[in-house]
């Protein structure tokens, strides 16, 4: 199992890419632990998630200037991740637009597709069995 997405609050400068076709604005509860899948199920493949090389190099190069250890740099600046088939980085403070949601009755969660163009899905720890259902739920 994986960590989940959570709702991220919109700021006054948040620009929604497509208000009619997005299903929410999210961020990982824990970007180190969350996993991403190539479909809306824990049975689908887990996508590769690796540290962003340029950001790790910047932290390494900057640690001495700030008189910090690499662990202190991680604590202060976090870790940015690249995820297979995703065209943006996963980072502790960035927002993620949801493009589709599918309820998972078995696990009582909702799956959110976080890529507009690719099958990249993340679990969202919310399930409302009383609301309207997707045809895939039946």
pLDDT at residue 131, rounded to an integer: 56
How confident is the model over 15-51, as pLDDT tens digits? 888 889 999 999 999 989 999 999 999 999 999 999 9
- Is the four-CA dihedral 5, 9, 13, 15 of positive or negative sign? positive
How confident is the model over 97-130, as pLDDT tens digits? 999 999 999 999 999 999 999 999 999 988 877 6
Q: Residue 134 CB: number of other CB atoms within 10 A?
A: 14
Q: What is the DSSP string of 7-38?
A: E-PPPTT---S-TTT--EEEEES-TTT---BS
């Amino acid at each position: 199992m994986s960590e989940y997405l959570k709702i991220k609050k919109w700021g006054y400068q948040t620009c929604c890419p497509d208000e009619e076709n997005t299903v929410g604005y999210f961020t990982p509860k824990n970007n180190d632990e969350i996993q991403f899948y190539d479909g809306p199920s824990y049975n689908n493949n887990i996508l590769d998630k690796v540290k962003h090389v340029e950001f790790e190099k910047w932290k390494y190069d900057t640690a001495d200037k700030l008189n910090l250890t690499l662990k202190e740099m991680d604590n202060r600046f976090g870790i940015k991740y690249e995820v297979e088939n995703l065209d943006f980085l996963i980072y502790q403070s960035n927002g993620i637009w949801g493009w589709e949601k599918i309820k998972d009755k078995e696990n009582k969660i909702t799956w959110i597709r976080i890529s507009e163009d690719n099958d990249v899905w993340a679990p969202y720890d919310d399930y409302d069995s009383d609301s309207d259902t997707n045809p895939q739920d039946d």
